[in-house]
Amino acid sequence: MLQKIEECASFLNERGFKSPEVAVVLGTGLGSFVQHIDIIHTIPYHEIPHFPVATVEFHKGQLIYGTVQGKKIMAMQGRFHYYEGYSMQQITFPIRVMKALGVQFLLLSNAAGGMNPLFKKGDMVLINDHINLLPENPLRGLNDPAFGNRFVDMCRPYDEAMGQQLIKAAHALQKEFLHGIYVSVQGPNLETRAEYRYLRAAGADMVGMSTVPEVIVANHIGLRCAAVSVITDECDPDHLQPVNIAEIIEVAGRTDAGLSEIFAKAIKALQ
């Protein structure tokens, strides 16, 4: 894997991805952040050595390089999921490449189902902790010290200073973050009523199928990170209705512009 990381980073560096400071991973329906980027280069995933290819139809599948608020950034327009058939090491490969290119800060977004009864569609929730229920770990088998400490401490996986910058940016834009615990599950099916009760009882506020693998690897390689969930459906097991994926994407799209503004404003203050 080390060789693949080096080859991929070298390829991107030769194509102008020079010393990015910040990386952004854009979740389902959350793509308008690119409008805040002064784009210099765009490369489809299928042209990048060793990169997986996004198979989810509403994920664009391209890597963007440019500047936001004077800072060099790279953005993944579309991420990879375990339910697509990829291994955890494939899913998190781009995060390792980001670090190799010089990225210091990682911002992630996702669409999630809200299990906390106080959460409503369109709410933005700053993730302050997570529960990992995925069946594989991206660090499994990586015992070479070159990858980092094998037994990664996860007592504070989300960088508190980055979280405060996001909160300040939201307040400046007269927007609000809620706070919550995210649980990541395998998918791609959504949960049963009994499973929502189980996950809520376990302490989770919202549920999704991504983010946690990237955060584990970010902690493994010393990459500071923060993540935000957009609540796209309300998962009340006592009043559960069939989910319309088109509606989920539409709800995420309505919140997209506001979250993108917050990300752009927060990036300027990251240091």
pLDDT in tens, 18-74: 999 999 999 876 788 999 999 999 999 999 999 987 665 554 789 999 999 899 999
Residues of the chain with pLDDT under 50: 59
pLDDT at residue 54 in the model: 67
Fold for the domain defined by 2-269: Rossmann fold (3.40.50)
Q: In one letter, which amino acid is 12?
A: L
CB 66, CB 40: distance < 8 Å: yes
* Domain ranges, ordered by start, for the chain: 2-269
CA angle 241, 134, 25 (to 5 degrees): 85
Beta bridge partners of 227: 108
Number of other CB atoms surrounding residue 184 within 10 Å: 24
pLDDT at residue 87 in the model: 95
CA angle 100, 45, 209 (to 5 degrees): 85
Stated pTM of the model:
0.94
pLDDT at residue 56 in the model: 59
Q: Is the peptide bond before 188 cis (omega within 30 degrees of 0)?
A: yes
